[in-house]
Amino acid sequence: METVYRMTPKRRFLAGILGGRVDQAPVGSVTSVVNVEQMEATGAFFPDAHLAGRAMAQLAAGAHTILGYDAILPYASVSAEAAALGCAMDWGDRENMRVSLAPIWSDPEQVEIPADFSERAPIRAILDATRILRAQYGDRVAIVGKVMGPWTLAYHLHGIQDFLSETLTDPERVRRFLDALQEITVLFGRAQIEAGADLLCVADHATGDLISAAMYREFLLPHHQQITQRLGCPTVLHICGNTLDRLDDICHSGFDCFHFDSRVDAKDATERVAGRISLMGNVNNPEVLLHGTPDEVLAQARYAQQAGVRVIGPECAIPLATPTANLRAIARVAAEPLPAAGG
């Protein structure tokens, strides 16, 4: 007899990430799905929603209540840690999520986490929003925490040009930076789990456009292995851009799932990882979600799902002008038959 039962969105999303059974395709994202239409519908707007927990929670909930996704992510920007640590910020406005940061640390020995880090506005807002969302939706919907990994923190806090050139001129210094910055990733990650997040996304922009696969393996992979061990919760790695040449290494990172860009074909990705890690994504943002039609979005979501991508969603933080109709079209893939064998 056929068993008919519905999973809660939370169980479905976590099962997708951990590679387990699902009743339908999990949909959602571990990077921002906020758009202008959801700000208008929820009455919570950027830039206020970056710095106030209640507004952040109100806006983030749209991922489930408006888009029909299985997960809610409070932390929309990529700048909370750097801003809390003292980088100058321009939070942008309701049409632009700007990242305007001036690096503050020239040496790894300067890296210091202030005692009141969790109380500083950009961090406190995320922790408050996580608690609110956990109380409101935590029994049914996955609450996603997010932290910047040490590579991205080095871009923000030390400066992208200096950091990348030091990988060639002073690799030891790069390692000392990553060692010190990893503590921020772990501290903030643990704080979000404690506040009620079910899983953590570690965004660490070691993209093929900027660093080679060999550099990923040499510098960052050992840190990712340490971070996933230390966090202990379900984890998703996000790296945008072309990552096909480092997928094999990513399978050894200890992450449960990899959230990837449409520049990597879904079939190539699932073949390369061969079930060693779950995959999430990889609907194209700039052409399909922003400028395409709902049917074009669904076609791409279907392609990813049939290829064996376990959680279907946008490839990265969406542009704020993305139409809600297109974002909702991703959720229509949940009505499609599941591929015969899960990857």
Site residues (vs Zn ion, CB under 5 A): 240, 316
State which residue, 15 or 73, has the beta carbon closest to Zn ion.
Answer: 73
State which residue, 213 or 318, has the beta carbon closest to Zn ion.
Answer: 318
Give the H or E element holding residue 209: none
Tell me how far apart the alpha carbons of residues 63 and 41 are, in angstroms, rounded to a whole number: 12
Cβ burial of 67 (10 Å; 0-12, 13-18, 19+) is buried
Q: Can you count the helices (H) and strands (E) in the chain? A: 17, 7
State which residue, 74 or 108, has the beta carbon closest to Zn ion.
Answer: 74
State which residue, 83 or 236, has the beta carbon closest to Zn ion.
Answer: 236
State which residue, 195 or 316, has the beta carbon closest to Zn ion.
Answer: 316
Q: What letter represents residue 122's amino acid? A: P
Backbone φ, ψ for residue 205 (5° rounding): -85, 60
Beta strands in the chain (DSSP E): 71-72, 142-148, 199-203, 235-238, 257-260, 278-283, 311-314
Backbone φ, ψ for residue 259 (5° rounding): -95, 115
Work out how close the CB of 132 gets to Zn ion at its nearest, in angstroms, rounded to a whole number: 26
**Residue 163 CB contacts under 8 Å (≥ 6 apart), including other chains:** 154, 155, 174, 177
Work out how close the CB of 82 gets to Zn ion at its nearest, in angstroms, rounded to a whole number: 16
Work out how close the CB of 59 gets to Zn ion at its nearest, in angstroms, rounded to a whole number: 19
Work out how close the CB of 305 gets to Zn ion at its nearest, in angstroms, rounded to a whole number: 21
Work out how close the CB of 282 gets to Zn ion at its nearest, in angstroms, rounded to a whole number: 11
State which residue, 11 or 205, has the beta carbon closest to Zn ion.
Answer: 205
Which of 78, 12, 67, 81 lies closest to 34 in space, CA to CA? 67
- CA quadruple 310, 149, 56, 50: dihedral positive or negative? negative
Work out how close the CB of 114 gets to Zn ion at its nearest, in angstroms, rounded to a whole number: 28
State which residue, 132 or 202, has the beta carbon closest to Zn ion.
Answer: 202
**Residue 94 CB contacts under 8 Å (≥ 6 apart), including other chains:** 36, 39, 45, 46, 47, 320
Tell me how far apart the alpha carbons of residues 213 and 248 are, in angstroms, rounded to a whole number: 10
Tell me how far apart the alpha carbons of residues 121 and 106 are, in angstroms, rounded to a whole number: 24
- CA quadruple 202, 204, 207, 211: dihedral positive or negative? negative
The residue nearest Zn ion at its CB is 240
State which residue, 89 or 240, has the beta carbon closest to Zn ion.
Answer: 240
Report the Cα–Cα distance between both ends of the chain, in Å, rounded.
Answer: 26
Work out how close the CB of 261 gets to Zn ion at its nearest, in angstroms, rounded to a whole number: 7
State which residue, 147 or 195, has the beta carbon closest to Zn ion.
Answer: 147
Tell me how far apart the alpha carbons of residues 141 and 202 are, in angstroms, rounded to a whole number: 20
